[in-house]
Amino acid sequence: MYLYQIRDVDHFYGDKQVLSIEDLAIPSASITGLIGPNGSGKSTLLKLLGFLEAPTYGTILFQGRKAAPFSKVIRSRVTLLIQEPYLMRRSVFDNVAYGLKIRGDNRETRSRVAKVLEQVGLEPESFARRKWTALSGGEAQRVALAARLILKPNVLLLDEPTASVDAHSARLIRKASLKARDEWGTTLVVATHDWQWLYETCDSILHLLQGRVFKKGLGCAVYGPWRIGQMDMLQKELEDGQVLLAPKPEEGKRMAVLDPSSVQITLPGMALVQGNCKTLNGFVARLFLERNGATVQTAIKVAELIITLRMERHKVEALRLCPGKEVNVSYDPQEIEWF
Amino acid sequence: MDFIQEGFRQAVTLLINLDPATYSAINTTLRASGLAMAASLVLGIPLGYLLGYFDFRLKKQLRIIVDTLLSLPTVFIGLVIYALLTRNGPFGEMGLIFSIPGIAIGQTILALPIVIALTATAVEAADRNLRITLMSLGANRRQIAASTLWEVRLGIFAAAVTATGRVLTEVGISLMVGGNIKWHTRTITTAIALETSKGEFGMGIALGLVLLLIALVVNISLAGLRRRI
C-alpha cells in the first residue's frame, strides 16, 4: 500500500516551474531520502508532501485519497521539520505541547512532553521551563523535532534536519526519527546531504535536479565544470588531480551520474577486469551491513566524490575491506549517464 | 516664567485636594479614551492581521490609504463626526453629539489606522517560517491567526501604546464633538484649551502636567503587562 501517490504534478512559483513529477509513489513506513543541489526542488517537494501548499497542477493522493492543505485527513498526521526551526515565543514545554493543545488533547501532557524531550536527548527537568531564547541551534532543532514527535505522526518530513547542528545533535535527531519509524511505523522523507542518513537508513533515494526526479537508487551525481578531453570525451578534474571521463551529453542534459552497480572495486595491484575501464584511486570511507545481512553498503571516497555501492558480504570479506583501506574503482566511461 | 512654577504648584494642589472639576475631566478623558481604545483594538487587530498576512489585489493601495490615515488631523475628524452626529445630521437621532460615546467614536477613527498599520507591519515582519511551523503542527486557519497574533504581541502592544498616547492627548475631536461641557464632556485637553484662552496659563500647565501624569501611569501599567506576556 502506497502512502503517497503523486501523479502529473507541476508546481509553479509565479511563472517559474519549480517541480515536475510525472509519477512517484512512497510506501508506508519507508524511509525515503531526497538528494540534489540547492534549488533542485527538495524543499518544494517536502512542502507538497506536507500539504502546506497545493500543487499548481496534478494530484497528490494520501492513503489513496485526495488531500489538500488544512484537510482533516492530514492534520496532525503529516508534519514537516524545516531546516531552520521556528520556535514560538513561549517556553520549551509550551512549544512541544502546542500541537496537542490546538487539537484539544490534554491527556497527560506533562508526562508526554517529558517523554519526547527525553527521546531527543533533552532532560525535561532542565529544559521544559526554558525560554525559546535560551537554547543552542542544535537544542532548538531537537525541541522542534520533539514538538512533532509528540503528535506520533504518520509522516515525518525532514528538510536538512542535521545541516546546521553539531554532530551530537545530528546523531540524536537521527536516532529519534528512526525510533518513530520503528515504534509507530512513521514514514520518513528526508532531504539531506548527510550521507549517513541517506545510505545507512534510507530504503530508497530520489535524486532531484531542476525540479525533476531523475534517478532512483544509489547513483553518484557528478557536477561540472567539464572540459573536452581526449578521444572526444569530456573530463572532470577532481580535487586531488585525478580525472573522471564521460561521454558527451545530449543537448540539455547537465548532470552526469555514475551508476555504482557498474563499477568494480579492486585492491591496488590487482588486474583490471575489463580493458575499456578507467581507474580511480580512493579509500573506503564507511561500511554498513544492510538489514538483510547479506549485502554491505560500501562508501568509497574518491577525491570529493562518494561512490556508494551495494556489495555482497562475502566479497567485502574476501577483499578485507575496512574503513581507510585504499582501493581502486574501475568504471566504464560509457556507463556514465547524463540527465 | 512664574506661571510655570505656579502650574506645578497648582497641579499638585488640584490632585491632592481632589478638585471635583479636575477629577471630572480626568474621568471623562479616561472613559472616552478607554472606549475608543477598546473599539479600535477589537476592530483594528483583526483588520491589521488581514492586511499584513494575506496577499491580495490592491493590497499596496490599501496600505497607502491606511498609512495616509495616520496623518488624519483631529479637527478634521471632529468636523466630520460633528456633521454626522449633529441633530440635523444623518445620525442625529442617536443623540450622540456632545456625549462621551460621541467623542469615543471620533477617537476610534483616530486610533484605528494606527492599530491597523502597526499590527499589519508586525504581522508582515513575523518570521516566514512561522506559518509553515503552525500548519505543520496541525493548526487550522483560525488557530494560525490566533497564534500569529500572539507571536507578534509585542508589535501589537506597541500599536496599542502609540494609539493610546494619540487618543489621550487629542483636543480637536473632544472639543468639536464633545463641546467642552463642564461636568459632562470636558476632557483634560479641552480644559487646557479653555484655561489658556482665558489667560489662566498656570491652570493650563497644571492640567497638562496632570495629563502627563495619567500618561505615565497608563504606560507604567502597560509596561508591567508587557513584561508578563
pLDDT band with cut points at 50, 70 and 90 for residue A293: confident
CB within 8 Å: B133 and A88: yes
CA distances in angstroms from A109 to A102, A227, B7, listed in the order given: 12, 61, 60
CB within 8 Å: A52 and B137: no
**Which residues in chain B have their CB less than 8 angstroms from residue A50's CB?**
135-136
CB within 8 Å: A80 and B151: no
Contact yes or no for A298/A322 (Cβ under 8 A): no
* DSSP for chain B, written as a single string: -HHHHHHHHHHHHHHHTT-HHHHHHHHHHHHHHHHHHHHHHHHHHHHHHHHHH---TTHHHHHHHHHHHTT--HHHHHHHHHHHHSTTSTTGGG--TTSHHHHHHHHHHHHHHHHHHHHHHHHHTS-THHHHHHHHTT--HHHHHHHHHHHTHHHHHHHHHHHHHHHHH--HHIIIII---TTTT--HHHHHHHHHHTT-HHHHHHHHHHHHHHHHHHHHHHHHHHHH-
Once rounded to an integer, what is the mean pLDDT over residues A262-286?
A: 82
pLDDT band with cut points at 50, 70 and 90 for residue A274: low
Q: Is residue A147 less than 8 Å (CB to CB) from chain B?
A: yes
A-B CB pairs within 8 A amount to: 57
* DSSP for A26-66, written as a single string: EETT-EEEEE--TTSSHHHHHHHHTTSS--SEEEEEETTEE
Type of residue found at B150: W
pLDDT of residue A292 exceeding 80: no
The pLDDT of residue B63 is 94
Higher-scoring residue by pLDDT: A146, B207 = A146
Tens-digit pLDDT profile for residues B150-196: 999 999 999 999 999 999 999 999 999 999 999 999 999 999 999 88
User: Considering chain A, what is the average pLDDT of its residues?
Assistant: 88
How many angstroms away from the CA of A247 is the closest CA of chain B?
43
Contact yes or no for A79/A50 (Cβ under 8 A): yes
Nearest to A62 by CA among A74, A76, A46, A45: A74
The share of chain B scoring above pLDDT 70, in percent, equals 99
Of A85, A89, A151, which is closest to B138 when you measure between CB atoms? A151
3 state DSSP class of A293:
coil
CB within 8 Å: B147 and A47: no
Outline where chain A has alpha helix (H). Answer: 42-49, 92-102, 109-119, 124-127, 137-149, 167-184, 195-196, 313-319
What DSSP element (H or E) covers A327?
Answer: strand A326-331
The pLDDT of residue B64 is 94
Q: Is residue B133 less than 8 Å (CB to CB) from chain A?
A: yes
Q: Is residue B144 less than 8 Å (CB to CB) from chain A?
A: no
**Cα–Cα distance for residue pair A112/A100, rounded to 1 Å:** 10
Q: Is residue B129 less than 8 Å (CB to CB) from chain A?
A: yes
CB within 8 Å: A148 and B138: no
**Cα–Cα distance for residue pair B132/A89, rounded to 1 Å:** 15
Q: What is the CA radius of gyration of chain A?
A: 22
pLDDT of residue A285 exceeding 80: yes
3 state DSSP class of A136:
coil
ipTM over 0.85: no
The share of chain B scoring above pLDDT 90, in percent, equals 72
Of B130, B136, B150, which is closest to A80 when you measure between CB atoms? B136
Chain A (85-114) residues lying within 8 Å, Cβ to Cβ, of chain B: 85-86, 88-89, 98-99, 102-103
Higher-scoring residue by pLDDT: A182, A214 = A182
Contact yes or no for B70/B120 (Cβ under 8 A): no
The pLDDT of residue A117 is 95
Dihedral over alpha carbons B177, B178, B179, B180 (to 10 degrees): -140
How many angstroms away from the CA of B117 is the closest CA of chain A?
22
Residue B207: partners with Cβ closer than 8 Å, 6 or more residues away: B11, B14, B22, B25, B188, B191, B192, B195
CB within 8 Å: A89 and B151: yes
Strand partners, A2: A27
Checking phi first, is residue A92 left (phi over 0); if not, alpha (psi -120 to 50) or beta?
alpha
**Which residues in chain B have their CB less than 8 angstroms from residue A80's CB?**
132, 136
CB within 8 Å: A86 and B130: yes
Classify burial at B101, counting beta carbons within 10 Å of its beta carbon; exposed 0-12, middle 13-18, buried 19 or more.
middle
Once rounded to an integer, what is the mean pLDDT over residues A98-126?
A: 93
pLDDT of residue A52 exceeding 90: yes
CB within 8 Å: B138 and A79: yes
**Cα–Cα distance for residue pair B156/B122, rounded to 1 Å:** 7
User: Considering chain B, what is the average pLDDT of its residues?
Assistant: 91
Question: Domain B28-186 - what CATH class?
Answer: mainly alpha
Q: Is residue B125 less than 8 Å (CB to CB) from chain A?
A: no
Q: For residue A152, give the chain B residue with the closest CA.
A: B137
pLDDT band with cut points at 50, 70 and 90 for residue A295: confident
**Cα–Cα distance for residue pair A118/A112, rounded to 1 Å:** 10
φ/ψ (deg, to 5) at A191: -95, 120
pLDDT band with cut points at 50, 70 and 90 for residue A273: low
Nearest to A62 by CA among A96, A22, A28: A28
Of B127, B132, B143, which is closest to A102 when you measure between CB atoms? B143
Q: For residue A43, give the chain B residue with the closest CA.
A: B132
* DSSP for A203-250, written as a single string: SEEEEEETTEEEEESS-EEE----EE-GGG-EEEE-TTS-EEEEPPPP
Count of alpha carbons within 13 angstroms of residue B170, beta-carbon side:
33
pLDDT band with cut points at 50, 70 and 90 for residue B54: very high
Q: For residue A150, give the chain B residue with the closest CA.
A: B137
**DSSP-derived pairing of the beta strands A2-13 and A16-27:** antiparallel
Nearest to A202 by CA among A29, A21, A17: A29
How many angstroms away from the CA of A294 is the closest CA of chain B?
39
Tens-digit pLDDT profile for residues A35-47: 888 888 999 999 9
Once rounded to an integer, what is the mean pLDDT over residues A281-300?
A: 84
pLDDT of residue A88 exceeding 70: yes
How many angstroms away from the CA of B224 is the closest CA of chain A?
18
Type of residue found at A257: V
Nearest to B161 by CA among B220, B107, B106: B220
